[in-house]
Chain A
């Protein structure tokens, strides 16, 4: 009889073992994870891209560097969230729309680390520079699918409504390997770009190949030039890998807001809109057509307009990309803001270079077109300001 109980006990253990393992965190508590509704085939490709993005570490033998910033994608994007000053990028060499004058001296990006035996780059004399924090990856597929016309409709270059906010797209040239979207708008051969702190990158394919090349020193069929020798070399990563990583980024879920029905969160959102933070941080955008049903014609809440805004002299680092002015920055999407510390080492590093260590500090560093909203925020009572902060932390 005792033996029977032992056998029953062992069977019960085998059957119930998964109950004794850590449960998955709720979807609104983490940034990473795929968008709901992928087909089996899409889920498989997402998994392949995930393995390359989070699992592949480059070494000297697999093409790392020899000068580089990071050894893997995940080094900069822990948990698909915002980065940490450890992996901050430094860009240099461009001060206006005439282009980067230091491309022949290693621009636009500083590879500040090197394999043993090599020396990392230094910023050339006379070049201005800015530091860029790695952005969060979540929801990028949604942002990629916002039609150009919708972005253009939010632009108000002459501030015709008089709210102090203009906002312009970054019209920029695109590399030959990038295929413009079917609904793309053009102006003098330039396209509306939307990714990067200066909105100078057209789509996730350009962003991904550029990051492999400039961040890790990995060449591909799209970016065949080695960052160290400046010579064209054999591809160090395959087009299949690039495609899978791009698909992975496109199909990451959008951050899920928490406590939406909480009274303080709701009040904070009303105040946020009331003082016109939403003039740039648009609460709602819509995707266009996509072959991925989960992304096709979806309304989502990124809290950005994907436009460039003059943020004032305090945030003017004297460096730019594309046709942005040095004081202009793309409106940072605020979704995922409350979960940012979970990928930044349990602390905040906000704004383009991580100089702000809290949401309040980031707000106080706003200037230029955001000056009116900042002043309105400061005119609120302490309780009202706290409601806005609570709302922002729910995103």
Chain B
């Protein structure tokens, strides 16, 4: 009996490719919807994708891989080859005004396969869309714009990745909409979702660390505080000037009661962010920036190692220097760029001395990037980073090269 199964499996394996192989000509690029102007809030849907025949399903994704050689005060781990992530998108137009998108991310170094986004959008009116499912909270702009191929830098901004959690998603519902007239656009987003937990002030980073809450998969089933995390964003764009966004995310983060037993008072986390991006048309210079402030109610009987205020942000300046037929690629672009970053993990003063609590990092990252097409980027960065400890001792100096490739597919 077992032998028969084996023969059957071998038969299927031997002959199935001939019958199951997809004709590549059936796969076609879905043209971007240029009928409506786009804003940062459209980033999740505004991605390249492929469609199979006339099926109402689009597939897409991106991949990121790096080589790096970094050293900190004379100590280096040497040559490191990193497969950062593979993301897959599946989107579907269920009907004319109902659509679905999911994004699944594989990060082998963290042994993680995560559904980052899986939501249904129902359009009642351009100003009134309902979104429900697993939502990427729109705090700042990077969280919704995190795709590797969009950036000239191999690493995500420190403030967007380590201070605000990047790819921070939660189960929930909300509304969004856009209004545009002439060169102006106004967009809003408002969501109620699950959120943070005690780990933001109880983690192995030894500092207030919002991304620690990402390690809690229970948040997709049970909110630690039992109260919604409110996220809202208002963005204004002028096609000549640029886009500015103001966003807020906040709520009670701690498990203050369990089974009716009161364990602690309700403690809040509040995050405020401002983001902007602009293209200086005369020089074709792209400037993107974001700055955020975090306020956390930390018990005053806890350690000041975990700060109650954080702030930080980044600014990217990207300057195309050559746009031509390069090595046979039509319309290839060579850019030079620079990212400036700063994060203060613990804004405040020591109770014991009144002295400043340091615990901060700043970084400068000059870069050269080559885009053979709009979906693919090869980038060479040089990272210069200075990181001070809580006490403000002489900083740890890190520097080194990073080369990476990232592309949509």
A and B from one assembly? yes
A residues contacting B by CB (< 8 A) are 13-14, 17-18, 20-25, 56-57, 59-62, 64, 68, 70-72, 75, 78-79, 84-86, 88, 113-120, 342-347
Complex contact A345–B301 (CB within 8 A):
no
Complex contact B393–A345 (CB within 8 A):
yes
Chain B interface residue count, Cβ-Cβ cutoff 8 angstroms: 44
Contacts A22-B73, A57-B206, A345-B358: A116 and B305 contacting too (C-beta < 8 A)?
Answer: no
Total number of A-B contacts with CB less than 8 angstroms? 115
The distance in angstroms between the C-alpha atoms of A342 and B393, with both chains bound, is 6
Collect the chain B residues with CB atoms within 8 Å of residue A118's CB.
301
Complex contact B350–A86 (CB within 8 A):
yes
Nearest residue in A to B397 (C-beta to C-beta)? A22
The distance in angstroms between the C-alpha atoms of A85 and B391, with both chains bound, is 10
Cβ distance B399 to chain A, nearest Cβ, rounded Å: 5
Contacts A75-B206, A86-B390, A116-B264: A24 and B353 contacting too (C-beta < 8 A)?
Answer: no
- List residues of B (199-214) whose CB comes within 8 Å of A's CBs: 199, 201-206
Cβ distance B211 to chain A, nearest Cβ, rounded Å: 15
Collect the chain B residues with CB atoms within 8 Å of residue A115's CB.
202, 302
Complex contact A18–B76 (CB within 8 A):
yes
Please classify the interface of chain A as helix (H, G, I), strand (E, B), loop, or mixed, using the class held by over half of its residues.
loop
The distance in angstroms between the C-alpha atoms of A72 and B264, with both chains bound, is 24
B residues contacting A by CB (< 8 A) are 69-76, 79, 198-199, 201-206, 254, 263-264, 267, 299, 301-305, 350, 352-353, 355, 358, 382, 389-394, 397-401
Collect the chain A residues with CB atoms within 8 Å of residue B69's CB.
14, 17-18, 21
Collect the chain A residues with CB atoms within 8 Å of residue B399's CB.
20-22
Collect the chain A residues with CB atoms within 8 Å of residue B305's CB.
70-71, 75
Complex contact B202–A22 (CB within 8 A):
no
Collect the chain B residues with CB atoms within 8 Å of residue A116's CB.
198, 201-202, 254, 264, 267, 299, 302
Q: 11 A-B pairs, CB-CB below 8 angstroms?
A: A17-B401, A21-B400, A22-B397, A22-B399, A57-B206, A64-B202, A75-B206, A78-B393, A84-B391, A114-B299, A115-B302
Nearest residue in A to B385 (C-beta to C-beta)? A22
Nearest residue in A to B267 (C-beta to C-beta)? A116
Complex contact B71–A344 (CB within 8 A):
no
Cβ distance A321 to chain B, nearest Cβ, rounded Å: 23
Question: Of B202, B263, B355, B397, which contacts A345 at CB under 8 A?
Answer: B355
Question: Of B76, B202, B299, which contacts A59 at CB under 8 A?
Answer: B202
The distance in angstroms between the C-alpha atoms of A22 and B74, with both chains bound, is 6
The distance in angstroms between the C-alpha atoms of A84 and B303, with both chains bound, is 14
Cβ distance A1 to chain B, nearest Cβ, rounded Å: 14
Complex contact A79–B205 (CB within 8 A):
no
Complex contact B353–A85 (CB within 8 A):
yes
Cβ distance A338 to chain B, nearest Cβ, rounded Å: 14
Complex contact A88–B73 (CB within 8 A):
no
